[in-house]
């Protein structure tokens, strides 16, 4: 029985992929020498011959023939009954060690040790295979889904994970669905099987999709300088061409949107703005906030926010739904952007004057003023021009708070 079990372990080891023959030989010999050391105290005077093809191992115990034994592991007495009369003092006696000589527990140890080494090699091979692929696209089949993640199998049956946090909001997968994602990370946790994480929300995933769909990007004629995303809502992709004859934006979009439409579908209809990269920060901001028209830009210092001034009719376009557009523009230039309303000049001397919101800091709390300014309202009239419901939704304020603010602002003009 022990021989059969051990041969099964040999066969299991032999059939592992991506294990070269020298490594197999070395591991197998090391496993047997480890057990020899446990059984006999040392393996220095043992020859271990591995036959991988047959799934067998031969072990020979070499001892010196002596008159009086001092070390039974390396010496044997001349008068020992195991010896023939032909052995002289100083000669070497070689005995073949059978598996049964290790005992049942010893054979079990060999098998367990061998299986453990197999698993370690499998883990190392899997880790090395995928750690070199971090940042690459992966396509696999959903095997199982849970509340917090989806399990995906590759062609060899290895497990990869797509956490809920790395899925585009609103996505729902079911068993056998084909999913495309980027390999985000590979981790070894407590010597377990490598934990391979996929992502569909990272900017790199969108970048790889463009490389796949746009030959000019893959060939290096167009470079993606930066990608920023709010997964499932909107993304901005800044591109640059090294060939003046190539329009980078047109190449990325394709004739009648033929190239970008596949990417949009893959991202569950995420809106994608493709713009031309520039090292001029003011021009980059203008392109990032398109189609809103900007009146002026104040860049400020390194730690200061960028102030962008627009006419009231342009503010909503610049900020975008839920502030998404202005947030992405800030991510693209690397600094937070604030939108400020610029009131149109009026030649009517009797025109009613507006009042900056900052003038109300004695009656309206500072954090509320900041909320209003974040949605492009920096004057009293710019707030009054909006409905209470719109202010509450966009500035994330309670209805009662909004009504109090509107009462204060209306009172200012009533007094006048």
Would you kindly state where each structural domain of the chain is located, as residue ranges?
Answer: 2-130, 141-201, 207-341, 357-415
At residue 4 the predicted structure's pLDDT band, cuts being 50, 70 and 90, is very low
Q: Which CATH number fits domain 2-130: 3.30.1480, 3.40.50, 1.20.1260, 3.90.930?
A: 3.30.1480
Neighbouring C-alpha atoms within 13 Å toward the C-beta of 339:
32
pLDDT of 57 above 90? no
Fold of 207-341: GMP Synthetase; Chain A, domain 3 (3.30.300)
Contact call for residues 406 and 386 (beta carbons, < 8 A): no
Who's near 158: CB < 8 A, 6+ residues apart?
A: 126, 196
pLDDT at 372: 85
- Please indicate whether residue 358 or residue 274 has the higher confidence score (pLDDT): 274
Helix H or strand E encompassing 145: strand 137-145
pLDDT of 31 above 80? yes
- Report for 15-24, 130-139, 240-249, 286-295: range of highest mean pLDDT: 130-139
At residue 188 the predicted structure's pLDDT band, cuts being 50, 70 and 90, is confident
At residue 14 the predicted structure's pLDDT band, cuts being 50, 70 and 90, is low
Q: Among 95-99, 242-246, 302-306, 329-333, which is the least confidently predicted range?
A: 302-306
pLDDT at 285: 92
pLDDT of 1 above 50? no
The C-alpha angle with vertex 274 and arms to 231 and 219, in degrees rounded to 5, equals: 105
Q: Which CATH number fits domain 357-415: 1.10.287, 1.10.150, 2.40.128, 1.10.3470?
A: 1.10.150
Q: Is the dihedral of CA 261, 263, 266, 272 positive or negative?
A: negative
> Where does 287-357 show beta strands of DSSP type E?
296-298, 306-310, 337-341
- The string of pLDDT tens digits covering residues 162-175 is 999 999 999 999 99
Q: How many CB atoms lie within 10 A of CB 174?
A: 9
pLDDT of 235 above 80? yes
pLDDT at 233: 93
- The string of pLDDT tens digits covering residues 244-293 is 889 999 999 999 999 999 999 999 999 999 999 999 989 999 999 988 88
Q: Among 43-57, 201-215, 241-255, 259-273, which is the least confidently predicted range?
A: 43-57
pLDDT at 348: 45
Average pLDDT over residues 386-390: 85
**Mean pLDDT (the chain, rounded):** 86
Fold of 141-201: OB fold (Dihydrolipoamide Acetyltransferase, E2P) (2.40.50)
Judge if the upstream peptide bond of residue 400 is cis by omega within 30 degrees of 0: no
pLDDT of 185 above 60? yes
Q: Among 16-25, 42-51, 83-92, 306-315, which is the least confidently predicted range?
A: 16-25
């Amino acid at each position: 029985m022990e021989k059969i079990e051990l041969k099964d372990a040999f066969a299991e080891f032999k059939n592992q992929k991506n294990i070269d023959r020298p490594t197999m030989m070395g591991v197998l010999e090391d496993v047997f020498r480890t057990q020899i050391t446990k059984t006999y105290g040392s393996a220095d005077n043992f020859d271990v011959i591995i036959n991988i093809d047959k799934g067998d191992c031969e072990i020979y115990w070499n001892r010196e023939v002596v008159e009086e034994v001092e070390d039974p592991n390396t010496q044997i007495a001349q008068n020992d009954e195991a010896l023939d009369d032909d052995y002289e003092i100083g000669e070497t006696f070689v005995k073949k060690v059978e598996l049964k000589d290790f005992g049942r527990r010893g054979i079990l140890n060999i098998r367990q040790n061998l299986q453990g080494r197999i698993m370690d090699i499998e883990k190392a091979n899997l880790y090395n295979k995928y750690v070199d692929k971090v940042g690459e696209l992966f396509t696999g089949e959903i095997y199982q889904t849970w509340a917090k993640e989806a399990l995906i199998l590759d062609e060899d049956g290895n497990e990869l994970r797509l956490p809920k946090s790395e899925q585009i909001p609103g996505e729902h997968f079911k068993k056998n669905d084909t999913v495309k994602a980027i390999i985000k990370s590979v981790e070894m946790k407590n010597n377990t099987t490598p934990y391979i994480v996929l992502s569909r929300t990272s900017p790199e995933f969108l970048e790889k999709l463009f490389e796949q769909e746009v030959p000019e990007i893959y060939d290096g004629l167009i470079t993606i300088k930066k990608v920023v995303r709010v997964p499932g809502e909107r993304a901005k992709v800044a591109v640059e061409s090294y060939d003046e004859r190539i329009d980078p934006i047109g190449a990325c979009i394709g004739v009648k949107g033929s190239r970008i439409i596949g990417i949009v579908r893959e991202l569950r209809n995420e809106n994608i703005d493709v713009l031309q990269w520039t090292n001029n920060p003011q021009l980059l901001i203008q392109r990032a906030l398109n189609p809103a028209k900007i009146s002026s830009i104040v860049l400020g210092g390194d730690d200061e926010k960028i102030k962008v001034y627009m006419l009231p009719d342009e503010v909503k376009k610049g900020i975008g739904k839920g502030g998404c557009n202005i947030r992405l523009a800030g991510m693209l230039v690397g600094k937070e952007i604030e939108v400020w309303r610029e009131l149109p000049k009026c030649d009517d001397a009797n025109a009613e004057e507006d009042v900056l919101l900052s003038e109300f800091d004695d009656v309206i709390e500072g954090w509320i003023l900041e909320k209003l300014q974040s949605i492009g309202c920096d004057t009293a009239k710019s707030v009054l021009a909006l409905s209470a419901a719109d202010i509450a939704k966009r500035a994330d304020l309670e209805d009662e708070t909004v009504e109090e603010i509107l009462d204060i602002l209306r009172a200012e003009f009533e007094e006048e």
